[in-house]
């Protein structure tokens, strides 16, 4: 804490301290009223989720694939109560333990998927937007094609490729993560490319070039640093989508085997037949876990998006004073337009700079 | 005046060569946009082909455990999977072009036949879901914009996020549990009860769209039965999209409420309710039309999950059945067809958007 402000005070006095420039902290200070409530609620849920994932081995009463303890087998479809507060599944697993362990799988998949897609997407977007030309054209057409396609179907195809449709142990988790990665790359690509094309025309890039900076240096030092302001937002959007895609894959039977790890979508798939006979606890709890986590992350993402858009920030009076302001929000329609189908509203953000490119070339 | 010129624009753009350079011309836009369909379909189909083939040939995948090595080799060479992959690729592209999506391994039926039979069921589901999405999403979005930052707005925004945060199969399971099992007012699964299905099967040339078939039987009981079966799947899938629409309408209505012409109307004493209802509403709908194109992809993905949850025998249900059977020819066929559908819908949506809003044109 103490090191951060001193480091910044050396570089320049009027700059805000590093602490307040951290992505979420800054927005939290900026927010007010309802928006602040939503942001805080989202942050709390997300924190609880992350902590649950980390401490799942401590919190869960049993292992995720445990079928019996010292007293014998758990028994299938036991109603909640006694030693199983949330009951047991049709295969005889403890529902509470499966739900808690599931957080770990979800977090792991989110991290792998988002990190991989950020690296690939940011790199491709940067190179494509900076150099332009035929490579850029092809990349844009390909990413548009992939982007328009139902992401779940793409993830299914990918998981067939990676694991042949069967997953086991850690490989299954990676297969799911990589399947989701492929779906996300076009989204990062589009955003970063659009930003790169815009920044490329800025005066400071021009002057860096005049000073003789190499393309690599300009790309990573001048363009990349300025193009990443939207990343935290897309990160939150994709994290929630990653959970939904993982659950969807699991629900269709492409998930992770119950002996390898616990996965909410898979559990819901197994609970499908339970519902008809009125057994509610096997589906309700894994489902609620998915809803809560996605809700938490989306609340954070949506608040960040609104705070980035002056027209939606703050109260009515402020918004009216702002009038028609240049669209700074990453997702013009709001994050929900960017729901499971992808970042819907990004369409607009991308067309503008690409028009500029047409004129320039 | 303006409406006359826009209407006469398409023939002029297509017919005469001389026209002002600034006039983009809707005809030219449609042409370019139409030509763009082909690379999109080509890329998706190629991608699916190459990705699926990296796992090996489909026959080994489907029958690997069940047949001996010799029989397997025989089946593979009979189907032509032992030829160079590039030859197979070219042949596959040619087949797609002529509408041939291959023959399934598990049931030995042409994929195109499956698409025709089950595609209509999916179409019906998607139609009802869009209906739910419109009826729920658009009015609620306007309500949220009207009471901006008040409690109804806060409530509706959380509702919208919940719509999106709930996986369709989970909301489907909950609906099933509450309405079909506990309250017992709606059927658990399927598209119609057996009696109604039998009645529809005897129709001379059944359309496959149950709603239309049910009307044609002339028996109100059949129609009610079919509609009852559609309620829960349509709700589950529709609410997902409704959340997106709600959010979009809210943002756009708020955006238009801040524009000059709305200010002008407000200063003339137009009530705030009328401003939302009459002035800000229509321009706010334009982005929705654009977004519907993207929602189609979402709806098709969601349809796979919804159909599996409700055993609604459509494309998505069949897709998950074929996935279980590891019949990758069928999977590839269905995925390729969905790619074509997505590309075509996006084309139509873009054209409609361009007709409504001239700024969209190239």
Q: By the 8 A CB rule, do B189 and B310 touch?
A: yes
Q: For the residues A252-279, what does the mean pLDDT come to?
A: 77
CA separation for the pair A117, A185 (Å, rounded): 5
Quote the pLDDT of residue A5: 44
User: What pLDDT, on a 0 to 100 scale, did the predictor assign at position A333?
Assistant: 39
**Highest-confidence range of A131-145, A164-178, A226-240, B229-243, by mean pLDDT?**
B229-243
SS (H, E, C) chain A: CCHHHHHHHHHCCCCCCHHHHCHHHHHHHHCCHHHHHHHHHHHHHHHHHHHHHHCHHHHCCCCCCCCEECCEECCCCCCCECCECCCECCCCCEHHHHHHHHHHHHHHHHHHHHHHHHHHHHHHHHHHHHHCHHHHHHHHHHHHHHHHCCHHHHHHHHHHHHHCCCCCHHHHHHHHHHHHHHHHHHHHHHHHHHHHHHHHCCHHHHHHHHCCCCHHHHHHHHHHHHHHHHHHHHHHHHHHHHHHHHHHHHHHHHCCCCCCCCCHHHHHHHHHHHHHCCCCHHHHHHHHHHHHHHHHHHHHHHHHHHHHCCCCCCCHHHHHHHCCCCCCCCCCCCHHHHCCCCCCCHHHHHHHHHHHHHHHC
Q: Across the interface, which of B36, B43, B338 has its CB nearest the CB of A153?
A: B338
Q: What is the mean pLDDT of chain A?
A: 71
Q: How confident is the model at residue A73 (pLDDT cuts 50, 70, 90)?
A: low
pLDDT of residue A164: 61
pLDDT at A276 over 80: no
Nearest CA distance, B218 vs chain A (angstrom): 32
Helices and strands, counts by H and E, chain B: 17, 0
**Averaged over A78-104, what is the pLDDT?**
76
Q: pLDDT band for position A2 (50/70/90)?
A: very low
Q: What are the C-alpha distances in Å from A65 to residues A61, A62, A97, A104, A165? A: 12, 8, 9, 14, 21
Burial B171-209 (b: 16+ CB within 10 A, else e): bbbbbbbebbbeeeebbbbebbbeebbebbeeeeeeebe
Asked if A151 lies within 8 A of B297 by C-beta distance, the reply is yes
- Confidence (pLDDT) at B18: 43
- Residue A354: per-residue pLDDT: 35
pLDDT tier for residue A325 given thresholds of 50, 70 and 90? very low
C-alpha B86/C-alpha B118 separation (Å) is: 31
Segment B56-76 shows an average pLDDT of 71
Decide which of B281 and A330 is more confident. Answer: B281
| pLDDT score for A168 | 55
Q: Which of A306-310, A326-330, B338-342 has the highest mean pLDDT?
A: B338-342
The pLDDT value recorded for residue B15 is 40
Residues B284-314: b if buried by 16+ CB within 10 A, e if exposed: bebbbbbbbbbbbbbbbbbbbbbbbbbebbb
Q: pLDDT tens digits, residue range A43-66?
A: 899 899 899 888 878 777 777 777
Going by pLDDT thresholds of 50, 70 and 90, the confidence category of residue A30 is low
The residue-averaged pLDDT of B86-92 equals: 81
CB-based contact, A319 to chain B, within 8 Å = yes
DSSP three-state, residue B104: coil
Within 8 A by CB and 6+ apart from B129, the residues are: B233, B234, B237, B238, B240, B241, B299, B302, B303, B306
Query: Could you give the ipTM of this predicted complex?
Result: 0.78
- Pick the range with the lowest mean pLDDT from A72-76, B166-170, B257-261: A72-76
pLDDT at B8: 38
pLDDT of residue A18: 62
Question: Six-digit token pair at B2?
Answer: 């303006």
pLDDT of res. B6: 38
Report in angstroms the alpha-carbon separations of A69 from A65, A73, A74, B114, B129: 11, 6, 7, 48, 46
Which residues of chain A have a CB within 8 Å of the CB of B255? 311
The answer to whether the CB atoms of B323 and A156 lie below 8 A apart is yes
Tell me what pLDDT residue B243 has. 87
* Stretch B172-177: mean pLDDT: 86
Mutation pick from A39, A139, A149 vs chain B, by most beta carbons of B within 10 Å, is: A149
pLDDT of residue B86: 79
Judged against a pLDDT cut of 70, whether residue B23 lies above it is answered with no
Q: What is the pLDDT of residue B275?
A: 77
Share of chain B above pLDDT 70, in %: 85
Structure-token pair, residue A133? 């030309």
Residues 250 through 289 of chain B touching chain A, CB cutoff 8 Å = 250-252, 254-255, 258-259, 287
> Which pLDDT does position A349 carry in this prediction?
37
Helices A281-308 and B151-165: crossing angle in degrees, nearest 10, is: 120
Over 80: is that where the pLDDT of B194 sits? no
Tokens for A221, please give them: 């030092």
Report B:27-46 residues touching A (Cβ under 8 A): 36, 39-40, 43-44
> What is the predicted pLDDT for the residue at B357?
66
Mean pLDDT of B28-56: 80
Lowest mean pLDDT, pick from B185-189, B226-230, B231-235:
B185-189
Cβ contacts from A onto B, under 8 A: 223
Spatial contact of A176 and A252, defined as CB atoms under 8 Å apart? no
Interface of B with A in 46-65 (CB under 8 A): 47-48, 51-52, 54-55, 61
Cα B127 from chain centre: 8
Q: Which residues of B234-248 are buried (b: 16+ CB within 10 A; e: fewer)?
A: bbbbbbbbbbbbbbb
- Whether pLDDT at A335 is above 50: no
Can you tell me which residue has the tokens 């945060």?
Answer: B165
More confident residue, B159 or B223: B159
Find which of B301, B302, B307 to mutate to test the A interface (most A CBs within 10 Å of its CB): B301
Q: Which two tokens stand for residue B159?
A: 């509702």
Q: pLDDT averaged over chain B?
A: 77
The 10 Å Cβ neighbour count of residue A323 is 12
* Structure tokens belonging to residue B194: 């057996």
Please report where in the chains the tokens 């189908």 appear, as a residue: A341
pLDDT value, residue A27: 67
Confidence of residue A317 (pLDDT cuts 50, 70, 90): very low
Highest mean pLDDT: which range of A122-136, A144-158, B50-64: A122-136
Contact A239, A110 (CB under 8 A): yes
- B256 has a pLDDT exceeding 60: yes
Of B1-5, B138-142, B289-293, least confident by mean pLDDT is B1-5
pLDDT 10s digits, B118-158: 888 888 888 889 889 889 988 888 888 888 777 888 888 88
Tokens 């929000």 belong to which residue? A329
Tell me which H or E stretch contains B49. helix B37-53
B305 lies within 8 A of chain A by CB: yes
Q: Is B69 a residue whose pLDDT tops 80?
A: no
Say which of B52, B161, B247 has its CB closest to residue A160: B52
Chain A nearest C-alpha distance from B169 (Å):
8
- pLDDT of B153 reads 85
Question: How many Å apart are CA A83 and CA A295, to the nearest integer?
Answer: 30
Indicate whether A161 pLDDT > 80.
Answer: no
Integer CA distances (angstroms), A62 to A65, A93, A244, A311, B334, in order = 8, 9, 26, 50, 41
């Amino acid at each position: 804490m103490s090191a951060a402000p001193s480091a910044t005070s050396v570089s320049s006095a009027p700059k805000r301290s590093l602490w307040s420039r951290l992505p979420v902290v800054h927005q939290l200070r900026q927010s007010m009223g309802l928006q602040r409530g939503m942001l805080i609620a989202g942050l709390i849920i997300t924190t609880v989720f992350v902590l649950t994932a980390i401490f799942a081995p401590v919190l869960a009463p049993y292992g995720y694939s445990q079928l019996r303890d010292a007293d014998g087998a758990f028994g299938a479809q036991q109603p909640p109560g006694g030693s199983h507060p949330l009951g047991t599944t049709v295969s005889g697993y403890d529902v509470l333990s499966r739900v808690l362990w599931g957080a770990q799988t979800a977090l792991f998949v989110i991290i792998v998927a988002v990190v991989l897609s950020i690296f690939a997407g940011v790199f491709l977007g940067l190179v494509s937007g900076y150099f332009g030309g035929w490579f850029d054209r092809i990349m844009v057409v390909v990413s548009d094609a992939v982007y328009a396609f139902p992401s779940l179907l793409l993830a299914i195809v990918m998981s067939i490729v990676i694991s042949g449709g069967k997953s086991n142990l850690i490989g299954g988790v990676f297969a799911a993560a990589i399947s989701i990665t492929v779906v996300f790359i076009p989204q990062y690509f589009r955003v970063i490319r659009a930003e790169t094309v815009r920044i490329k025309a800025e005066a400071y890039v021009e002057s860096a070039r005049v000073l003789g900076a190499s393309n690599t240096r300009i790309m990573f030092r001048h363009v990349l640093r300025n193009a990443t302001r939207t990343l935290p937002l897309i990160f939150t959007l994709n994290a929630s989508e990653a959970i939904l895609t993982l659950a969807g894959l699991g629900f269709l039977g492409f998930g992770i085997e119950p002996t390898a790890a616990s996965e909410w979508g898979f559990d819901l798939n197994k609970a499908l037949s339970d519902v008809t006979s009125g057994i509610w606890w096997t589906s309700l709890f894994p489902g609620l876990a998915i809803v809560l986590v996605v809700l938490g992350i989306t609340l954070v993402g949506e608040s960040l998006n609104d705070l980035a858009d002056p027209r939606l920030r703050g109260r009515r009076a402020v918004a009216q004073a702002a009038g028609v302001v240049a669209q700074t929000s990453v997702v013009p329609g709001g994050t929900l337009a960017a729901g499971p189908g992808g970042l819907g509203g990004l369409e607009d953000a991308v067309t503008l700079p690409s028009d500029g490119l047409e004129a320039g070339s | 005046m303006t409406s006359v010129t826009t209407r006469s624009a398409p023939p002029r753009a297509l017919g005469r060569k001389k026209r002002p350079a600034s006039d983009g011309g809707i005809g030219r836009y449609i042409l370019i946009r139409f030509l763009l369909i082909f690379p999109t379909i080509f890329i998706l189909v190629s991608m699916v082909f190459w990705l699926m083939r990296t796992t090996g040939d489909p026959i080994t995948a489907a029958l690997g455990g069940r047949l001996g090595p010799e029989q397997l080799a025989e089946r593979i060479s009979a189907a032509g999977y032992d030829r160079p992959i590039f030859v197979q690729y070219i042949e596959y592209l040619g087949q797609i072009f002529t509408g041939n999506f291959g023959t399934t391994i598990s049931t030995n039926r042409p994929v195109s036949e499956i698409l025709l039979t089950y595609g209509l069921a999916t179409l019906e589901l998607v139609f009802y879901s869009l209906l739910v999405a419109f009826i729920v999403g658009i009015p609620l979005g306007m309500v949220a914009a009207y009471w901006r930052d008040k409690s109804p707005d806060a409530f509706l925004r959380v509702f919208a996020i919940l719509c999106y945060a709930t996986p369709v199969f989970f909301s489907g399971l909950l609906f099933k549990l509450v309405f079909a099992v506990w309250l017992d007012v709606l059927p658990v699964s399927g598209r119609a009860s057996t009696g109604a299905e039998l009645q529809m099967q005897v129709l001379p040339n059944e359309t496959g769209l149950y709603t239309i078939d049910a009307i044609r039987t002339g028996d109100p009981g059949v129609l009610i039965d079919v509609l009852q079966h559609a309620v829960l799947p349509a709700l589950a899938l529709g609410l997902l999209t409704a959340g997106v629409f709600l959010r979009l309408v809210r943002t756009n209505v708020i955006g238009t409420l801040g524009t000059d012409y709305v200010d002008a109307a407000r200063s003339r004493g137009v009530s705030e309710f009328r401003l939302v209802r009459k002035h800000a509403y229509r321009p706010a709908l334009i982005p929705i039309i654009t977004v519907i194109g993207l929602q189609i992809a979402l709806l098709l993905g969601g349809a796979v999950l919804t159909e599996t949850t409700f055993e609604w025998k459509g494309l998505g249900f069949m897709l998950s059945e074929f996935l279980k059977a590891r019949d990758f020819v069928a999977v590839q066929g269905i995925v390729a067809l969905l790619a074509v559908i997505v590309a075509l819908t996006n084309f139509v949506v873009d054209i409609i958007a361009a007709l409504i809003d001239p700024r969209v044109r190239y």
